[in-house]
Amino acid sequence: MGPDWPGSLLAFAAGALIALVTAPVGVSGAVFLLPVQLSVLGVPSPAVTPTNLLYNVVSGPGALLRYRHDGSLYGPLTRRLVAGTLPGVVLGAVIRVFALPGPAVFRLLVAVLLLPLGLWLIARTLRAPAGRTPRAPAPRTLTTLALAVGTIGGIYGIGGGSLLGPLLVGRGMPVAQVAPAALASTFLTSLVGAGTYGLLALAGGDDVAPHWFLGLACGLGGLTGGYLGARLQPRLPEGALRLLLGGLAAAIGALYAVQVLS
């Protein structure tokens, strides 16, 4: 079967638009792309999970190169997040292939976590006093949180920035510090996760392998949109970035809440 060019163009446009909006706050956009792949592009489960991870691998360097140019990519936060998410994504991939959990639990988890978290972050930003000193979680807490998020990402094909970003920014950390670390963690986690699924596909059949053409099309769109989004970030005030992150988190939670109730 030849490439689906109309579907690929749609995938490219979806990846570019989503990454343009989400990259400034450290979210790859895979959690938004997941329902597009399932409902619009027709990628079946469980192949949708490694396809989403492939999107993160291809799209990630766009924003990361821009953040590296700005000097905001490296730091202890990035190392701590990566130390937790990398083993987590391998564990999640094994659980996804051999335990095959259904999507209902994931949708409920995302809805219950992100909808109130996003609304709380918006409300807190609107009424926060100026000059508030950021409070980073303890290093062990960061790594444990990243391990849990990496496991969820390995199961459901999201990089984890949509979960890590609101949680860390909600603790008072600046978006400019969280976004590069979250995206770096997402990229490396997705790279390891996609490789794990590739190895598991050797024993598990074609349904475990990604849809390469659609994943690459989405990723190339995300590569372009992510670079532009990261370039926009320094031009946006912290309050606007926090409101954007809160709005994205609430929108993701609402989207999955509707799917759970329908």
Q: What is the pLDDT of residue 213?
A: 87
Q: What is the pLDDT of residue 207?
A: 63
Q: Find tokens 């603790």 and name the residue.
A: 171
- What is the pTM for the complete model shown? 0.81
Contacts of 33 (CB under 8 A, 6+ apart): 14, 15, 18, 52, 55, 218
Annotate 24-54 with b (16+ C-beta within 10 A) or e (fewer). Answer: bbbbbbbbbbbebbbeebebeebbbbbbbbb
Determine the angle formed by the axes of helices 161-170 and 103-127, rounding to 10 degrees: 30
Domain positions in the chain are 5-261
Q: What is the pLDDT of residue 58?
A: 92
Q: Which helix (H) or strand (E) holds 212?
A: helix 212-232
Per-residue pLDDT of the chain (262 residues; tens, 9 = 90+): 456 777 789 989 999 999 999 899 988 888 788 778 877 888 777 777 788 888 989 999 999 988 888 776 778 888 889 889 889 888 887 887 777 556 676 678 778 878 888 898 898 888 865 555 556 678 888 889 899 888 887 777 676 777 888 888 887 788 888 999 999 988 988 888 888 877 877 766 556 677 888 889 999 999 999 999 999 998 989 889 989 988 988 988 898 888 788 7
Q: What is the pLDDT of residue 1?
A: 44
